[in-house]
A and B are shown apart, each in its own frame.
Chain A
Amino acid sequence: MTDTEEAQATASTSTTTTTPTEKDAAKICVLLNATGNVPIIKKRTWTVDPNKTVSWIQKFIHKFLKLDANEQIFLYVNQTFAPAPDQIIKNLYECHGTNGKLVLYYCKNQAWG
């Protein structure tokens, strides 16, 4: 009886301790690099939920840098390709991830006008 209780107790503690690490492990490490005239972000590596979209990161940077509403953040990989905004980070990582990291470049501009 006591054994099982102990077992349960350890099991419950182990689950509570493993869940956050599992969550962290499931997250994807993203390296953000600034290009052009955009302000840099001091913290370059971020962990991101794999199911978040590209546009979510764009909105995040926009908010983080407190940009004007008419300025837009563009994200791209490999100096060439800007992934579609509804693309999820997991797919992007599978396609463009290197050394366990997804390297993203960002720049800002007014797109129109």
Chain B
Amino acid sequence: MSDAETHKTLTWPEFLKEAKQFLDKSHELNDNWELVEKDDQEPNSFLRYSQKIKCKVSNDLINIEYHIVYSVSYQVPMLYFQAHRSDGSLLDVEATWSLFMPDASRSDLYEMLTQMEHPVLFRPFMALHPCRTSEILAQFGRKSENILITFISLYGPYVKLNLSNSYGLDCSKI
């Protein structure tokens, strides 16, 4: 198999185009995604979404901000997020992990979650590892109608970011 069949990567203009398409879809469905544009340099625009969830263990209300940022090195979208409690304190890697996946093992943690610098904001953010993303995106048989919907719906559920079913409805209309 050729590289194009086993890996699906995106160029920066493609990412931007798909992000805008995704944003239109979100507006259409009255969802709260926003596009943050720092300037028009690569990769200084990203999608932002925030939600509040209740921690089952401590009963705290946790506010999470999710960013979908373009990774220049991997040429795929990457999911960054930051979670904080209602008193403003940030959750560290361990606390984030126990919030999302209390049952999974420690070795899984280090395979998928890292704290790293946000490529646009230069602040520490939690990120999901991007090294398999291009392979997974390539598995989707026919060409995806919007690769960002595919990406977010695949990786989001790991961090409680669940897209509504309506995102899967006919994307060609947007």
A74 and B149 form a contact (CB under 8 A): no
Interface centre among A78, A85, A110 (most CB of B within 10 A): A78
Q: Does B154 contact A (CB under 8 A)?
A: yes
User: With an 8 A cutoff between CB atoms, is A80 at the interface?
Assistant: yes
A81 to B163, CA, bound (A): 9
Nearest CB of chain A from residue B143's CB, rounded to whole Å: 7
Give A105 to B150 CA distance when docked, in angstroms: 13
Residues from 116 to 159 in B contacting A, C-beta threshold 8 Å: 129, 131-132, 135-136, 138-146, 149-150, 153-154, 156-157
CA distance A107 to B129 in the complex (A): 20
Known contacts A35-B139, A111-B132; A95 and B154 CB within 8 A of each other? no
Name B153's contact: one of A35, A84, A92, A96 (CB within 8 Å): A84
Residues in B neighbouring A78, C-beta threshold 8 A: 145, 168-171
**Of A74, A83, A107, which is within 8 A of B165 by CB?**
A83
- Partner of B150 from A36, A81, A108, A112 at Cβ < 8 Å: A81
A78 and B167 alpha carbons, distance in the complex (Å): 10
Interface residues on B, range: 20 to 34
**B11-44: contact bitstring with A at CB < 8 Å (1 yes, 0 no)?**
0000000000000000000000000000000000
The answer, yes or no, to whether B162 is at the interface (CB within 8 Å) is yes
- Contacting pair A87 B140 (CB below 8 A): no
CA distance A41 to B145 in the complex (A): 26
Choice from B138, B162, B170, B171 contacting A86 with Cβ under 8 Å: B162
Q: How many residues on the A side are at the interface (Cβ–Cβ under 8 A)?
A: 28
* Contact assessment for B131 and A113 in the assembled complex, using a CB-CB cutoff below 8 Å: yes
Question: With A82-B154, A112-B108, A113-B111 in contact, is A77–B139 under 8 Å at CB?
Answer: no
Chain B residues with CB under 8 Å of A8's CB are: none
Of A74, A86, A107, A112, which one neighbours B111 at CB under 8 angstroms? A112
Asked if B166 lies at the interface with its beta carbon under 8 angstroms from chain A, I say: yes
Knowing A36-B139, A74-B139, A107-B140, the reply to whether A87 touches B165 (Cβ < 8 A) is: yes
Q: How far is the CB of B60 from chain A (nearest CB, A)?
A: 21
Are A112 and B171 in contact, CB atoms less than 8 angstroms apart? Answer: no
Judge whether A112 and B139 touch: CB under 8 Å: no
Quote the shortest CB–CB distance from A105 to chain B (angstroms): 6
Is A12 part of the contact surface with B, judged by Cβ < 8 Å? no
Cα(A85)–Cα(B156), bound, Å = 10
Residues of A within 8 A of B (CB): 35-37, 74, 76-87, 91-92, 95-96, 105, 107-113
Ranked 4 nearest A-B pairs via Cβ: A81-B168, A35-B141, A36-B139, A84-B162
Binding site for A on B (CB under 8 A): 108, 111-112, 129, 131-132, 135-136, 138-146, 149-150, 153-154, 156-157, 162-163, 165-171
